[in-house]
Structure 1
Amino acid sequence: MPLSHVDCWIFDLDNTLYPRTCRLFDQIDKLITAYVVDVTGYDWADARKLQKEFFAEYGTTLSGLMATRNVDPHHYLQKVHDIDYSPVAPNPALMDAIRALPGRKIIFTNADRGHAQNVLKRLGGEDVFEDIFGIIEAEFAPKPHNNSYEKFIANHGVAPTSAAFFEDMEVNLKVPHSLGMRTVHVVPGADFDGSELEPFELERKDDEEHIHHVTDDLGTFLNPFARRA
C-alpha cells in the first residue's frame, strides 16, 4: 500500500508518538483504576477488571463510566492526566521527520488536548502539528467508534483517500481502512514487556486487511516520505 499520494498524516498520541517502553501510559492506567475504585467502591482487582471490560466494550474507560455511572468527563480527564511527563524523552529526529512530511499533520487522540500538549512539549513537537483532535472535540465519542472519525473528518475537512492513519491499537485502524485511508500499526519493540496488559491491548494482526503497514520505529518508517529542504 503506497503512501506517496498522502497529503494528510494523522497520528494517535499515546504509545504512538512516544514508545511504550517509557511507560508514561502506565501512570494513566493506574490512575484510571483508582478512579474506578472511587466511583464504584470496588476493590482494586475488581475495579481493574471493570476498567478493562469498559475499555474493550466502549473504546475508553471514560465512555463506560459515562454510560453506566454518569461521571463528569472533565473531572475524570483532570484526574487521570495528573502525571509526571518526564519519562517522555525529547525526540528531535522523529519530530523533524514528521515536520518534513508533505501536507498536513494532525493528532487524533482519545485523550484530551492538554495531555497531548504536555507530551508534545516533552517530544519537542509543539510546532509540528496543525491541530489536536481530542476526546472533547469528539464530543466524548472515542475511537474505534464511527462517530469519532466522522467528527474528525468533518471538523478538519480531511479527504480519507489521501490520508494516512498511525495508531498503536489495531482495532482503531478498522474504520480508517474502511474509509480509504492508508493505515500504519505502530507496535512496541521486541524488548517490551507487556505482561501487565490485556491481550487485546497488544493485539497485532499483520495479515488483516485493515493493517497496511507495521512498524516498531516510527521515525525510520517516516524518513523515506519526508521532504527535506
Structure 2
Amino acid sequence: MKNPNTARRDEIAAGLAEVERRVSAACAAAGRARHEITLVAVTKTYPASDVRILAELGVADVGENRDQEAGPKALDCADLPLTWHFVGQIQTNKARSVVSYADVVHSVDRPRLAEALSREAVRAGRRVTCLVQVALDDDPARGGVVPAGLAALAETVAASEGLVLGGVMAVAPLGGDPDRAFARLAQLSSDLRVDHPEATVISAGMSGDLDHAIARGSTLVRVGTALLGRRKPFVR
C-alpha cells in the first residue's frame, strides 16, 4: 500500500505539472515568456503539509483568503522561503494579523482598509505590497472598487507609509465573458501606470480562466483547485 504522504505528493506534483503546461501554452499562444507569470498556489482549506509539498516542488508563492486559517499556517511554515499572498476580503480589524505574515495583499478596495494596513505595517516595521481590487462588474458587493474609483484609491495606497502600490487585481464577473473582463482590467492597469509606472502587477486568472487572463496581460495567476483538487468546507 502506498504511503499516504507519497500519494499526496504525487497528486500535487501531477496537478502542478498540468497547471504549468496550461500556463506555458497560454504564454506561447500570447507570445509571452513564461517568466512573466507568477503562479500563486491558493491553499485555503488545505493543510500546512500541502504547502510544504508545494515548496519542495518549487512553488514559492502561496495564497490564502481567510485570516483565521492563514495566520497559523504561515506560522507553521515560517521556515520555508515563501512569499505569502492574502487574496480574500479583509475586515479592518484583521489588518494587524494579516500584516504580520502577508507580503502581498491583493484585496485593497477602500481607503479605510489602506489606512489600517498602513498603520499596522508601520507598527510592525514591514513594507507590504498592495494591489487595488477592481470590481469589473461595477458591483462592489463582491469586493473591489468600481473602476471610476481606482485612481483615487491607488493614490491613497501609494501615499501610505509602509505600503507599496503593486498594481491591480480582479475576479472575472460570474457568468460573464472573462476575455472581455480581463481586457478591461488590462486597460485599467495601463491607465494606472501613467501615474504609477511601478504598479506593474495584474493579478487575474484562476483555475478556470487563467488562459484568458494570460492572453490579456495577467502577470500573476491564483490557482487552487487545479493544483490541489476539490476543496472541503472550511471548519473553524
TM-score, length basis structure 1? 0.32
TM-score, length basis structure 2? 0.31
Structure with the larger strand share: 2
Considering Cα pairs closer than 8 Å and 6+ residues apart, tell me whether 1 or 2 has the greater RCO. Answer: 1
